[in-house]
Structure 1
């Protein structure tokens, strides 16, 4: 599992990521044939990506619980189930936004993992077969404290840094709960941030923004006066030093957004 994710944009350029981490729909990954042998066609089920909403799957009820750090990557598109061995409800592609899909495990049973998904609604999970998955364990985690507007990054028990950040405003708050680093992207043209790190969560007040799905992200900001304020449309704006640390974290790293 690489420490540095691929840094290219997929399809069109990012649109207004600073406000709600919006990504043009043209960049959405197309689902490949699921691993469930012959039972599901490529177009029969929604792909669990940041662009989609998936229904009929369980919610993550322990939204502030500490994740184990176990993360998994499907080498090819796999079927996602509401219960192990049931009827597939979605597919999980091997790549998203130009990066490998790494998702954190919230529950394990023999031969199966229940993972956090990057789709709407927030906190949606699904079961995938353990067969053929690549596995890794992330010792890292990022914690955003909305009340104090602080970001803390940990490597096991070692604190890598604490920074004052900007978070969502009263009308467009940053969504709370546990999520994960979904991808690492580098805009092709100079913009407000050299890197953008989409998370597996979305704005709960903006269904879309700038033509994209309202994906929340970590990113930089050129005006340091915003740090310590609730002024964004849901994203977390971070100082340059914090952005460099976040960019070195493995994909799938747990992120906890606390009130």
Structure 2
């Protein structure tokens, strides 16, 4: 369920750097916004799944419904603790894990959006300026209920499917609350899952896993006997049919993990 540092796919949970992310054709590394100079950006931490940030507000409505309104910074943008803030706390890059960065909007003010971020601690939020962003709206959402070990995927009011899943064990639980689909990654070599779908949350008990940051993800599993059990390091193992449906969810789409 975490992310691997030694450039290899991590065993039971997560996105390793030896994975090739599914990236739209023609997407290149994006420069910073004109307002963010290279020198200034270099001094600030990036809001990615690999970083721990401080000085930013937490999501206080962990089980609230997200609208599906998502934004993508076409260039690196500053992240502030409050709208109109004088000093930025971090930067949000245009890409991470090989995919475009799409984050869900939780609140808006004139010229500003408050978005969910993929960094530690879990449920971190920040304000970014609305200028220079691509916007979209996702009608998809995924709901994982830990008590029943069940996944439901919705598109609008239509249920796309219900599946039993494997969740984190007692010592390595799957974190609860609302999060989002962060990236789509494909292993270079055949492994336990043809796709890894990292989320914007991390293990609450493992600081690292396999050398990586402990990012939680949806992924498949070859042994069907695990479904319906609490046996993972925090990731959510899903049947092959569920993985195919999840892979069609736009990046930034809401994911709710309920107790």
| Same fold by TM-score greater than 0.5 | yes
8 Å Cα contact 1:142-1:254 kept in structure 2: yes
* More divergent stretch after superposition (180-189 vs 39-48): 39-48
Match of 1:49 in 2: 48
**Secondary structure of the structure 2 residue equivalent to 1:201:** strand
Q: What's the CA shift string for 1:73-115, capped at 9, x where partnerless?
A: 0000000000112110000000011100000001100110000
Matched, 1:63 2:62: yes
Match of 2:9 in 1: 14
CA distance in 2, matches of 1:69, 1:244: 20
CA distance in 1, matches of 2:239, 2:108: 36
Match of 1:222 in 2: 222
8 Å Cα contact 2:30-2:75 kept in structure 1: no
Go from structure 1 to structure 2 and tell me whether the alpha carbon gap of 1:198 and 1:210 turns closer, same or farther (over 3 Å shift).
same
Alignment gaps of 5+ in structure 2: 21-28
**Secondary structure of the structure 2 residue equivalent to 1:186:** strand
What pairs up with 1:238-257 in 2 under 5 angstroms?
238-257=238-257
What pairs up with 1:80-159 in 2 under 5 angstroms?
80-86=79-85, 87-159=87-159
Q: What's the CA shift string for 1:131-174, capped at 9, x where partnerless?
A: 01000000010000000000000001100000000000000000
CA distance in 2, matches of 1:153, 1:112: 30
Match of 2:35 in 1: 36
Q: What's the CA shift string for 1:227-252, capped at 9, x where partnerless?
A: 00000000000000000000011000
Match of 1:23 in 2: 16
CA distance in 2, matches of 1:76, 1:210: 31
* Root mean square deviation of aligned Cα: 2.1
CA distance in 2, matches of 1:85, 1:66: 26
Match of 2:198 in 1: 198
What pairs up with 1:72-83 in 2 under 5 angstroms?
72-83=71-82
8 Å Cα contact 2:32-2:38 kept in structure 1: no
CA distance in 2, matches of 1:91, 1:168: 31
Match of 2:23 in 1: none
CA distance in 1, matches of 2:54, 2:186: 31
8 Å Cα contact 2:56-2:126 kept in structure 1: yes
For normalisation by structure 1, the TM-score amounts to 0.90
Alignment gaps of 5+ in structure 1: 1-9
- Aligned-pair CA distance for 1:41: 1.5
